[in-house]
Structure 1
Amino acid sequence: MATASLLRRVLVLLTLFCVNDVRSVKLKSDEHTPWTNEFETVELSCVIESISSPSPRIEWKKIKEGNPSYVYFQGRISGDLENRARLREPASLVIENASRTDTAQYRCEVTAPDDQRSFAELLIDLVVRVKPVMPKCAVPTAVPVGKPAEFLCSEEEGFPRPKFQWFRNSEEIPIDPKTSPRFMNASYTMDPETGVLSFGAVRKEDGGEYFCRAKNEAGYSECRAQKMEVYDLNVAGIVLGVVVVITVLALVTAGICCAYRRGYLHSQQKDDKFKAPAKSDGVDYVRTEEEGDFRHKSSFII
């Protein structure tokens, strides 16, 4: 008897649970972390798994940096998705011509007033991937053998942040030179995160055309190839040039000293110095046409 009573209680509880469960709105998603490439179409799946209310209220919100904003409210699309999104019945959201600004968290909310549990929500994290643009590359034009060299590559548009690869004469340069027989003796380090390729001591074999590739899940882009010339450093020629310059400077200095000692550089003083005119005595003399001599123009006081 006790066993039968216990079974009846269990059946009643299960029946009540099932009834309550049926009268509760439930949601599910086919993909909680969807992704798409920029300018493509993506669907944010929000499936109503169970509901009793014939006319539920459906809303979508976009949450970016902790701030929610309406995407679908009172039967219409709003915000920056107004002309690029639509609701696929009963509750999924379709975004067309996806933009990098659409990367955010989205919340599907369904309110069913006739259900015992009248509210349900689910979160979807959308990532819009952006293909990198042409990276900026800096390649040394000429480097002497045995000297260091640094190559730079950067790109700021791609999302997720791209990784970088370097190529020499169209052949990919491995991150670790010891993994390739062609680069085993090279002395370089490469960081795929920053795009910096550094040679500790350039070899003659390192000369050639270099370009960089920026790559992420959305695609890749490359800069134009740039040539680096590696030349031998002529130490003997440099020393000889320095000696010649020093010799010329010494000869010029000796010539100047010799000329100075012989007096060629002394400034000669003129014997006849310029004398200033005497001070006027206050009398002006004017020659007339009739007179061949001077006469007073004006009187003066003694």
Structure 2
Amino acid sequence: MATASLLASILLPLTLLCASAVVGVRLKSDNLAPWTNEFESVELSCVIESISSTSKRIEWKKIRDGGNPSYVYFQERITGDLENRARLREPSSLVIENATRSDSAQYRCEVTAPEDKHSFAELLINLVVRVKPVTPECAVPSAVPVGKPAEFRCSEEEGFPRPKFQWFRDSEELPLDPRSSPRFANATYTIDLDTGVLTFDAVRKEDGGLYFCRAKNEAGASECKAQKMEVYDLNVVGIVLGVVVVVTVLALVTAGICCAYRRGYLSQQKQNNFKAPAKSEGVDYVRTEDEGDFRHKSSFII
């Protein structure tokens, strides 16, 4: 019995050692798609699930937009743009401090154990650094006549992922479908959540007020300053009277000009006050070869 126990105590470690040698290096991660907000920290989990060798080499590489990998952790030190913002958490996880938007990328954890039968293993981790939107740029028409269309614009280029847009009137959010709210049931607007464009087909008097836009994603939200839109009635009678007055004035001016022409007040008389000098009869001066010497071509007949 004692011999059997001794034999088992010897064979069991050997069996485990052989099993480990067959399996070799194997990795796992608690999260293959971590995310963090900009300026916060995040851990890229790379756990060595099995390894039989006592000596191992750990490397981390960064891959952006399908390009060539660049070293992040190599020869037991942090390199590249993460040199002062990252550290290795034993045995093989990578912690990034003060993450920036440029850290969004794929990261590859590689572990090599030369003495293992399967001496190499790797895994890919996709990190997303979310960026809060900055204050969006908003364009609100200042005055629109009743019944006319109107377009509001809102844009923001810094947030990541791309933010969605919301519009507010007098601090109350405009529902995506105006028919869903009794207060906006008769409104004729549409909202594009992706582009931030708010379009009214025909503005009502009730649509006037203070408008502002909010850009929002998973990292946070920002708003622009509220801007006022006035809705005014068109004075149709006044416009018609104004047109009539202008047409009447133009007709009177035209008639006056025609009458003045007919009476000759505006006719221009061409006067030629130049009188040609009379030619002396019977005398014709001819220039000789010598300058300044004249002679009579014909004589006076007395």
Query: How high is the TM-score relative to the length of structure 2?
Result: 0.84
SS of equivalent residue, structure 1 residue 212: strand
SS of equivalent residue, structure 1 residue 227: strand
SS of equivalent residue, structure 2 residue 273: coil
Asked if residue 204 in structure 1 is aligned to residue 205 in structure 2, the reply is yes
Quickly say closer, same or farther: Cα 1:21–1:178, change in 2 above 3 A: farther
Post-superposition offset of 1:268: 2.7
Cα offsets for 1:54-106 (capped at 9, x unmatched): 22000001111222211111112122212221111111111111111111111
Letter in 2 for 1:117: H
SS of equivalent residue, structure 2 residue 125: strand
**Partner Cα separation in structure 1 for residue 132 and residue 233 of structure 2:** 41
**Partner Cα separation in structure 2 for residue 107 and residue 246 of structure 1:** 80
**Partner Cα separation in structure 1 for residue 15 and residue 33 of structure 2:** 32
Q: Which residue of 2 aligns with 1:239?
A: 240
Cα offsets for 1:109-165 (capped at 9, x unmatched): 000112222111111110000011111111111100011111111111100000000
1:66-105 correspondence runs (5 A):
66-67=66-67, 68-105=69-106
SS of equivalent residue, structure 1 residue 105: strand
The RMSD of aligned alpha carbons is: 2.3
**Partner Cα separation in structure 2 for residue 124 and residue 245 of structure 1:** 75
Gaps of 5+ in 1: 1-13, 283-297
Quickly say closer, same or farther: Cα 1:51–1:276, change in 2 above 3 A: farther
> How many matched pairs?
273
**Partner Cα separation in structure 2 for residue 176 and residue 17 of structure 1:** 68
Letter in 2 for 1:41: S
**Partner Cα separation in structure 2 for residue 278 and residue 145 of structure 1:** 82
Gaps of 5+ in 2: 1-11, 280-284, 296-302
Cα offsets for 1:33-71 (capped at 9, x unmatched): 110011111111111122222220000011112222111
SS of equivalent residue, structure 2 residue 166: strand
**Partner Cα separation in structure 2 for residue 245 and residue 254 of structure 1:** 14
User: Quick one: percent identity of the two aligned structures?
Assistant: 77
**Partner Cα separation in structure 2 for residue 229 and residue 42 of structure 1:** 48
**Partner Cα separation in structure 1 for residue 83 and residue 15 of structure 2:** 42
Asked if residue 57 in structure 1 is aligned to residue 41 in structure 2, the reply is no
Contact persistence 1:27–1:48 (CA under 8 A): yes
Post-superposition offset of 1:16: 9.3
Letter in 2 for 1:56: K
Contact persistence 1:99–1:128 (CA under 8 A): yes
Runs of 4+ in 1 over 4 A off after TM superposition: 14-20, 275-279, 298-301
Contact persistence 2:17–2:52 (CA under 8 A): no
**Partner Cα separation in structure 1 for residue 164 and residue 176 of structure 2:** 12
Contact persistence 1:20–1:116 (CA under 8 A): no
**Partner Cα separation in structure 2 for residue 137 and residue 242 of structure 1:** 37
